[in-house]
Amino acid sequence: MSLPASDLTKQPDQRTTMDLGAVLPCTAEVRDDHLFIGGVDMVELAREQGTALYVFDEADLVGRMEAYRDAFRSRYENSDVIYASKAFLNKEVVRLAEREGLCLDVSGGGELACAQSVGFPAERVFVHGNNKTPQELEEAISAGVGRIIVDSRIELARVSEIAGRLGVTQDIYMRITPGVEADTHEYIRTGCEDSKFGFTMLEDFAYKCVTDVLAAPNVRLAGLHCHIGSQIFALHSFREAAQVMVEFMARIRDGYGYLIEELDLGGGLGIAYTADHEPSSIDDFAEVTCAAVRDFCGEHDLPLPRLLVEPGRSLVANAGVTLYTVGILKTLPGIRKYVAVDGGMSDNIRTALYHAEYEPVIANKAGQPRTEIVTLCGKHCESGDAVVIDMPLQHPDLGDIVCVFGTGAYNMTMASNYNGQPRPAVVFVRDGQARVVTRRETYNDLYARDI
Ligand SMILES: Cc1ncc(COP(=O)(O)O)c(C=O)c1O
Ligand SMILES: N[C@@H](CCCC[NH3+])C(=O)O
C-alpha cells in the first residue's frame, strides 16, 4: 500500500506550536524555542531517554479523569466512569484510574492481568470482548470482576456454566447493537447493524434472547450495554443510542416484568487530532447523555438506572505525544517531501490503518512558524509506513526532535515489533519531573520467548 497522493496546492499554515489549541496537552508551553510539557524540556528528555518516546502530561491525564467523573456525578448522582484501558494501558495509568475513583474496562485476560497486578479492585472491573475465551472468562469470574458484558448467546452459556462450576452468581450486562450509524470512520463504527459485536436488534433477536438470559442459572442480568463507535463528534448519536436503549429497557419491563438497573452507554467521544477539529467537551457529552437518559426514562416512566460511560480516547489521547529524531530527508520534486523518523507504524499504526491525521512540530524550533508541508515517514519496510501525511512543519534538519501530538490513545496499545523495532518507553512528566513508567523494550525482550 502506498500513501495517498500529495495535494501539492496545500499551503503551510504558518502556525506555531501554541496556535494548535485543543490538540496540545494542557501544560504545553514554549520556552526559548523549545517545547516543554509538564515543565520538562522535550528536547532534553529525548536526548536522555532516546526516541521514539511516548510522553504523557500527567496533569492533563488526571485532569481529564477528574473532569469526566465530576461532569457525570454533578449531573447524575448514580453514575460511574469506566476507563477503557484498550486506549492506553500500563500499571501506572491503572493506579491513576483507581485513585481517581474510576472503574476499568478490560477486553481480555491480558488487560485484566495488568489491573490485578496493581491490585485494582475487581468489583470495579468490566470485562468486554466479542470472543472472550473460556479461559479468560474463568480468570475473570474467579477474580471476582464486577460485570461481564455478554456479547452472544454462546457466551451466555459459557458464563453461566463457569459461574456455576465456581459456585458464584456473576453479574452480567447484555451488549446490544442499537443500530445507530455513528458519524465516524467505518472501521471504528460498532453500533450499526452489520457488526460482529453484541446482540442484534434485527428481527427482535436481542429482545427474544432476554428469555435465555433471565433463565440462565448462576448469572444476574444487571444491565444493558451499547457502544456505537469511536471518535464521534456528533453528540446526537449518543442521544439516539440512549433512546434506543431506554426503549429496550421499557420493553423488558413490560414484556418480562424485569427492571434493568444499570445502563452503560459505552465510550466514543471524539477528540482534536488537528487544530481544525472542534470536538465536544466532556461537559457537553455528559450533559447530552445524562439529559437523554433522564428524558427517555421519564417518557417511559422508568426509574433512573445507574448510568455508566466508557471513555478511552477522550481521557488519554491529547495527554500523550510521541517524540522522534529526524534521520533522513528526501525531497521528491512534484511529489512530496519525506522526513524520516526513528519509529513509524510500529509505534503508531493509526495513520497506515485509518489515514489518521496528526499535528507535528519540531520541539527544538517550537516557537517558529511551520513553513513547509511534509510527510513524516517511518523506518519500516512498508510504503504506507507514515506517521503524518502532508502536514505543516517547521523547516526540518537532521537531528531535529519532532513531537507528534494527540498520540496518547491507541498508539502504545496497538504498537508492534515490526522489523524488530523495540517498543518505546513511556514517560510521565509533571511539575518539571520526568519518570519512566514503562521502560523501553530491549533487543533481548524481542527474542526472550524463543527457544
Ligand atoms: C466496548 C468499548 N467501550 C469503550 C471503548 C472506548 O472508546 P473510545 O476510546 O472511543 O472512548 C471502546 C472502543 O471503541 C469499546 O469497544
Ligand atoms: N483503535 C481504534 C479505535 C477502536 C476502538 C476500540 N473499539 C483507533 O485507533 O481509533
Residue 7 falls within a domain, yes or no? no
Q: Does 194 lie in the same domain as 78?
A: yes
Query: Is 182's pLDDT higher than 90?
Result: no
Give 63's pLDDT tier (boundaries 50, 70, 90).
very high
Can you say which residues are annotated as belonging to the binding site for substrate? Answer: 313, 350, 354, 382, 410
Give 186's pLDDT tier (boundaries 50, 70, 90).
low
CB-based burial, 294-310: b 16+ in 10 Å, e otherwise: bebbeeeebebbbbbbb
Q: Which of 297, 316, 335 lies at the terminal end of a domain, its last residue? A: 316
Residue 5 falls within a domain, yes or no? no
Residue 2 falls within a domain, yes or no? no
Testing ligand 1's pocket by substitution, the residue of 227, 263, 410 carrying the most ligand atoms inside 8 A of its CB is: 227
Residue 439: per-residue pLDDT: 98
- Report the CATH number that the domain containing residue 170 is assigned in CATH: 3.20.20.10
Express each pLDDT in 250-285 by its tens digit.
999 999 999 999 999 999 999 999 999 999 999 999
Closest protein CA for atom 1 of ligand 2:
410
Residue 321: per-residue pLDDT: 99
Q: Does 325 lie in the same domain as 306?
A: no
Q: Which residues pair with 149 in a beta bridge?
A: 173
Residue 193: per-residue pLDDT: 75
Residue 7: per-residue pLDDT: 85
Residue 6: per-residue pLDDT: 87
Nearest C-alpha neighbor of 190 from the set 226, 240, 242, 152: 226
Give 190's pLDDT tier (boundaries 50, 70, 90).
low
Give 194's pLDDT tier (boundaries 50, 70, 90).
confident
- Cα of 327 vs centre of ligand 1, distance in Å, is 35
Q: Which domain holds residue 169?
A: 59-316
What whole-number distance in Å separates Cα of residue 273 and Cα of residue 268? 14
Give the percent of the chain with pLDDT over 90: 94
What whole-number distance in Å separates Cα of residue 213 and Cα of residue 8? 57
- Strand 40-41 and strand 53-57: the pairing is unpaired
Express each pLDDT in 159-177 by its tens digit.
999 999 999 999 999 999 9
* Least confident span in 1-5, 324-328, 348-352, 358-362: 1-5
Going by the DSSP 8-state scheme, the letter that residue 232 receives in this structure is B
Residue 289 falls within a domain, yes or no? yes
Whether 209 is a known active-site residue: answer no
Give 181's pLDDT tier (boundaries 50, 70, 90).
confident
Q: Does 52 lie in the same domain as 29?
A: yes
* ipTM score of complex: 0.98
Amino acid in the structure at residue 380: H
Per the model's pLDDT, the better-predicted residue between 159 and 6 turns out to be 159
**Chain centroid offset of residue 290 CA:** 21
Q: Does 398 lie in the same domain as 289?
A: no
What whole-number distance in Å separates Cα of residue 438 and Cα of residue 174? 35
Q: Does 255 lie in the same domain as 144?
A: yes
Query: Is 218's pLDDT higher than 90?
Result: yes
Q: Does 64 lie in the same domain as 42?
A: no
Region of residue 417 (left: phi > 0; alpha: psi -120 to 50; beta: else): alpha
Q: Is 353 in the pocket of ligand 2 (CB under 6 A)?
A: no
Number of domains in the chain: 2
Give 184's pLDDT tier (boundaries 50, 70, 90).
low
Q: Which of 295, 316, 337 lies at the terminal end of a domain, its last residue? A: 316
- Cα of 316 vs centre of ligand 1, distance in Å, is 12
Residue 10 falls within a domain, yes or no? no
Sheet containing strand 34-37, strands side by side: 29-31, 34-37, 40-41
Q: Does 302 lie in the same domain as 264?
A: yes
Residue 86: per-residue pLDDT: 98
The structure's pTM equals 0.97
Work out the number of other CB atoms within 10 angstroms of the CB of residue 358: 22
- Cα of 33 vs centre of ligand 1, distance in Å, is 37
pLDDT mean across residues, the chain: 96
Is residue 21 a contact partner of residue 29, using CB atoms and an 8 Å limit?
Answer: no
What whole-number distance in Å separates Cα of residue 120 and Cα of residue 91? 10
Give 416's pLDDT tier (boundaries 50, 70, 90).
very high
Q: Does 198 lie in the same domain as 150?
A: yes
Angle at 284 between CA 147 and CA 94, to 5 degrees: 40
Q: Does 284 lie in the same domain as 347?
A: no
Per the model's pLDDT, the better-predicted residue between 409 and 6 turns out to be 409
Q: Does 231 lie in the same domain as 294?
A: yes
- Report the CATH number that the domain containing residue 427 is assigned in CATH: 2.40.37.10
Q: Does 262 lie in the same domain as 367?
A: no
Give the percent of the chain with pLDDT over 70: 98
Query: Is 185's pLDDT higher than 80?
Result: no
Angle at 241 between CA 236 and CA 242, to 5 degrees: 95
Can you say which residues are annotated as belonging to the binding site for pyridoxal 5'-phosphate? Answer: 268, 310-313, 410
CA-227 nearest atom, ligand 2: 7
Residue 33 falls within a domain, yes or no? yes
Residue 249 falls within a domain, yes or no? yes
Q: Does 440 lie in the same domain as 419?
A: yes
* Least confident span in 53-67, 98-112, 181-195, 220-234: 181-195
Give 64's pLDDT tier (boundaries 50, 70, 90).
very high
CA-225 nearest atom, ligand 1: 1
Smallest-distance ligand from the CA of 185? 2
Nearest C-alpha neighbor of 103 from the set 412, 309, 242: 309
How much is the average pLDDT of 93-117?
98
How much is the average pLDDT of 181-194?
66
Q: Which of 282, 316, 350 lies at the terminal end of a domain, its last residue? A: 316
Residue 4 falls within a domain, yes or no? no
Give 223's pLDDT tier (boundaries 50, 70, 90).
very high
Report CA-CA distances (Å) from 70 to 65, 97, 102, 236, 337.
9, 14, 11, 22, 45
Query: Is 189's pLDDT higher than 70?
Result: no
CA-231 nearest atom, ligand 2: 10
Over its C-alpha atoms, the chain yields an Rg (Å, rounded) of 23
